[in-house]
Structure 1
Amino acid sequence: MSDEDLLENYRRAYNTKVGFGERPALIMIDFCQGYFDPDCDLYSGVEDALASALRVREAARAAKIPVILTGVSYHPSAIDGGRFFEKAAPLRYFIEGNPMGAFAEGLEPADDELVITKQYPSAFFGTSLASTLTAMGIDSVLLTGLTTSGCVRASCVDAMSHGFRTAVVADACGDRHDAPHDANLFDMNAKYADVVSEAETIDFLKNLSGKSAG
């Protein structure tokens, strides 16, 4: 099947948009220092994704919607890392106290921003995120973060599975190579979420802010 035929095949089967919700929250997934340090195994050259996410965060704060940051942290013995820690060697940088696990420069959490600490790929697995969003009356999430093929994808599938309208902000997500980044955005857009641009997201948030002011 040619690339053109494949795209047409997907358009016939998977061409539905669910749209942004009415009460969204912004989730910023695992923007940790290790992804930006060339001396770290996690380094992925994703500075553009962080810059985009910070612009989306600014618009989200202006719209007065919740901003939630996630990070990964393990006990010094890594006993809480399970098979994930056993399989993925770079997770050693997330052992409690390692500076590579700290939030990237420019993404220090504000006092009114919730931080969710996790041990597995999804921001929802083993955390209070779903129940917290539900209690806040949130109906949808805007996902940004690292990496597209890992924790962003896992969080996307779980967000949809928990009943939240899910938008993945493509410009504000990153991976160490374009191939897994693009393939996972394509697949998430087909089955689990709307993949949207930074510009679309910021326009939506500006309109939301205008409605709130009105």
Structure 2
Amino acid sequence: MKTALLLIDIQNDYFPHGKMELVEPIEASLRAKQILTDFREKGWPVFHIQHISIRQGATFFLPGTDGIKIHENVEPLPDEVVIQKHYPNSFRETDLLSQLQKREINRLVICGMMTHMCIDATTRAAFDYGFECVVIHDACASRNLTFNGETIPAEHVHLSFLAALNGTYARVLGAEEFLRT
């Protein structure tokens, strides 16, 4: 089985003082860095996904801002692929699928931000394309959401989406557990 790492949207706007600060993004990025280091040591393929917003009225990930830069904790090396996207699903209107197929990848390890949006959308799409997926739960981050006048804490949002993915769409593991296997 040929495995690749997808690091999705670990970008400055999600960190302290960014335009869409998440809950515990630094901790998640440091766990993603552990996974990234492991892949680099093994010489396995790494794909950095970078969201750049083109939607009218967007408030973050705006072109030409520091907010779109990939965070220094997981900064790409010159030989690592960076794929820019404009939608939550990393496959939509990008060449991600063709790049994975060209390298005969059939298993994806997924880390990044936001659990409830781009991690969820990309994982479900990857499963539909036939990839085996592993989501590293503590290398992902989310934020508080509101619905019907209620605030749902980020921890509940994060765990709910991971619970929905686990089993059918992905195997959900912690970073340490993944690194041991």
Distance 2:74 2:173 in 1: 22
Query: How far does residue 123 in structure 1 lie from its aligned partner after superposition?
Result: 1.0
CA displacement 1:164-187 (0-9 Å, x = unmatched) = 100001111111210110000000
- Partner of residue 126 from structure 2, selected from 156, 159, 178: 159
TM-score (norm 2): 0.89
Hey, what does 1:179 align to over in structure 2? 156
Distance 1:180 1:55 in 2: 24
Q: Is contact 2:114-2:141 (8 Å) kept?
A: yes
Which segments of structure 1 move beyond 4 Å, counting only runs of 4 or more? none
Aligned-partner residue type, residue 133 of structure 1: L
Distance 2:4 2:173 in 1: 15
Query: How far does residue 47 in structure 1 lie from its aligned partner after superposition?
Result: 1.1
Q: What pairs with 1:63-102 in structure 2 (closer than 5 Å)?
A: 63-74=42-53, 78=54, 81=55, 91-102=58-69
Distance 2:78 2:69 in 1: 16
Hey, what does 2:176 align to over in structure 1? 199
| Structure 2 unmatched runs, 5+ | 144-153
Hey, what does 1:118 align to over in structure 2? 85
Relative to total residues, which structure has the larger strand share, 1 or 2? 2
Q: Is contact 2:30-2:73 (8 Å) kept?
A: no
Q: Give the secondary-structure state (helix, strand or coil) at the position aligned to 1:155.
A: helix
Aligned-partner residue type, residue 102 of structure 1: K
Hey, what does 1:144 align to over in structure 2? 111
Which one is further off, 22-31 or 192-201?
A: 192-201
In our comparison, the structure showing a higher alpha carbon Rg is: 1
Does residue 83 of structure 2 align to residue 104 of structure 1?
A: no
Count of aligned positions: 170
Query: How far does residue 64 in structure 1 lie from its aligned partner after superposition?
Result: 1.1
Q: Give the secondary-structure state (helix, strand or coil) at the position aligned to 1:61.
A: helix
Hey, what does 1:6 align to over in structure 2? none
Distance 2:72 2:43 in 1: 23
Aligned-partner residue type, residue 171 of structure 1: D
CA displacement 1:36-95 (0-9 Å, x = unmatched) = 123x34111321100000000000111111011011124xxx3xx3xxx55xxxx43222
Hey, what does 1:29 align to over in structure 2? 8
Aligned-partner residue type, residue 52 of structure 1: R
Hey, what does 2:21 align to over in structure 1? 43
Aligned-partner residue type, residue 37 of structure 1: P
Q: Is contact 2:13-2:61 (8 Å) kept?
A: no
Query: How far does residue 105 in structure 1 lie from its aligned partner after superposition?
Result: 2.0
Distance 1:141 1:71 in 2: 17
% identical aligned pairs = 28
Hey, what does 1:61 align to over in structure 2? 40
